[in-house]
């Protein structure tokens, strides 16, 4: 005959069965939805005219997500981000007066909204203590700018053309994204007629707009 199970074995099996009925199935940690999309809320007191969102490891901001729209004070704008972009995002807004504001390395999978302004509920500004060298390159000349290069003074080459296949017409500006804390930068532009112009050793942490005429 098969021996009867001991009292200890029976008790252990009973506790395991009870745990499987009570404990929830394993899943993502609380607040980690895996979806980096969120709503950007404007409580700044003025209109937001541009919004950029880019994965933190990317070098460029990409396109203005508002395009021809603006986000008035008190309004919100849904930002739909593909899960493949990851949770760590950098966010940049430009206000109607031209002043930019950035939030770096935000875990947007943990939030449903990000507030710009004094209202409650804004995401913590990670890395806010570091100087911000990003700036707007503004074309106030009468010709089109066809190439833009920005490089740290520590680099030996200009790197890629930040306009890519685009151009910068008169009256328009380009949001130039740079690593936080790296303030001294060289800037080079090429006009449509082939003329080039350079600005060396600029402290871009101390500027909002860099104007070429």
Contacts with 175 (C-beta within 8 Å, 6 or more apart), sequence order: 50, 52, 61, 64, 92, 94, 100, 134, 136
**pLDDT tens figures, 125-155:** 444 456 889 999 999 999 999 999 999 999 9
pLDDT > 90 fraction of the chain, expressed in percent and rounded: 71
* Cβ–Cβ < 8 Å for 139, 159: no
Total domains, the chain? 2
Q: Is residue 104 part of a domain?
A: yes
- Is 43 in the same domain as 113? yes
- Is 100 in the same domain as 66? yes
Q: Is residue 105 part of a domain?
A: yes
User: Any idea what the CATH number is for the domain that residue 75 is in?
Assistant: 2.60.40.2890
Separation CA 114–CA 122 (nearest Å): 5
Q: What are phi and psi of 102, to 5 degrees?
A: -125, 150
- Is 170 in the same domain as 206? yes
How long, in residues, is the chain?
213
Average per-residue pLDDT in the chain? 85
- Is 158 in the same domain as 202? yes
**pLDDT tens figures, 156-184:** 999 999 999 999 999 999 999 998 889 99
pLDDT at 181: 84
- Is 140 in the same domain as 113? no
The DSSP secondary structure of 21-76, one letter per residue, reads HHSPPP-PPTT--S---EEEEEESSS-EEEEEEEETT-S---S-TTTT--B-TT-E
Dmax (CA) for the chain in angstroms is 101
**Nearest Cα to Cα of residue 71 among 36, 44, 53:** 44
- Is 171 in the same domain as 202? yes
The pLDDT confidence band at residue 5, using thresholds 50, 70 and 90, is: low
Separation CA 78–CA 38 (nearest Å): 6
Region 59-72: what's the mean pLDDT? 93
Q: Is residue 182 part of a domain?
A: yes
Beta-carbon count within 10 A of 103 CB: 22
- Is 43 in the same domain as 111? yes
Least confident of 26-30, 76-80, 108-112, 158-162: 26-30
* Cβ–Cβ < 8 Å for 103, 114: yes
Q: Is residue 110 part of a domain?
A: yes
> How far apart, in Å, are the Cα atoms of 50 and each of 75, 137, 213?
14, 14, 23
- Is 151 in the same domain as 183? yes
Query: Residue 94 sits in which domain range?
Result: 38-117
Whether pLDDT at 21 is above 50: no
Whether pLDDT at 191 is above 90: yes
pLDDT at 62: 87
pLDDT at 34: 85
Contacts with 29 (C-beta within 8 Å, 6 or more apart), sequence order: none
User: Last residue of some domain: 58, 85, 117?
Assistant: 117
The pLDDT confidence band at residue 16, using thresholds 50, 70 and 90, is: low
Q: Is residue 192 part of a domain?
A: yes
Separation CA 106–CA 31 (nearest Å): 14
Region 82-98: what's the mean pLDDT? 94
């Amino acid at each position: 005959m098969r021996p009867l199970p001991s009292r200890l074995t029976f008790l252990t099996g009973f506790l395991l069965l009870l745990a499987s009925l009570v404990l929830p199935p394993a899943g993502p940690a609380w607040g980690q939805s895996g979806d980096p999309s969120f709503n950007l809320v404007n409580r700044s007191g003025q209109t937001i005219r541009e919004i950029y969102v880019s994965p933190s490891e990317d070098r460029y901001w990409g396109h203005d997500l508002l395009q021809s729209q603006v986000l008035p004070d008190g309004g919100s704008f849904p930002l739909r981000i593909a899960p493949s972009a990851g949770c760590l995002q950098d966010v940049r807004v430009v206000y109607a007066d031209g002043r930019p504001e950035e939030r770096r390395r935000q875990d947007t999978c943990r939030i449903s909204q990000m507030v710009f302004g004094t209202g409650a509920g804004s995401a913590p500004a990670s890395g806010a203590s570091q100087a911000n060298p990003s700036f707007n390159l503004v074309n106030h000349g009468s010709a089109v700018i066809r190439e833009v290069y920005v490089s740290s003074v520590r680099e030996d080459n200009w790197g890629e053309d930040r306009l890519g296949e685009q151009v910068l017409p008169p009256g328009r500006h380009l949001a130039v994204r740079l690593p936080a804390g790296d303030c001294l930068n060289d800037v080079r532009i090429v006009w449509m007629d082939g003329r080039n112009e350079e600005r060396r050793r600029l402290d871009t942490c101390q500027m909002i707009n860099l104007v070429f005429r």
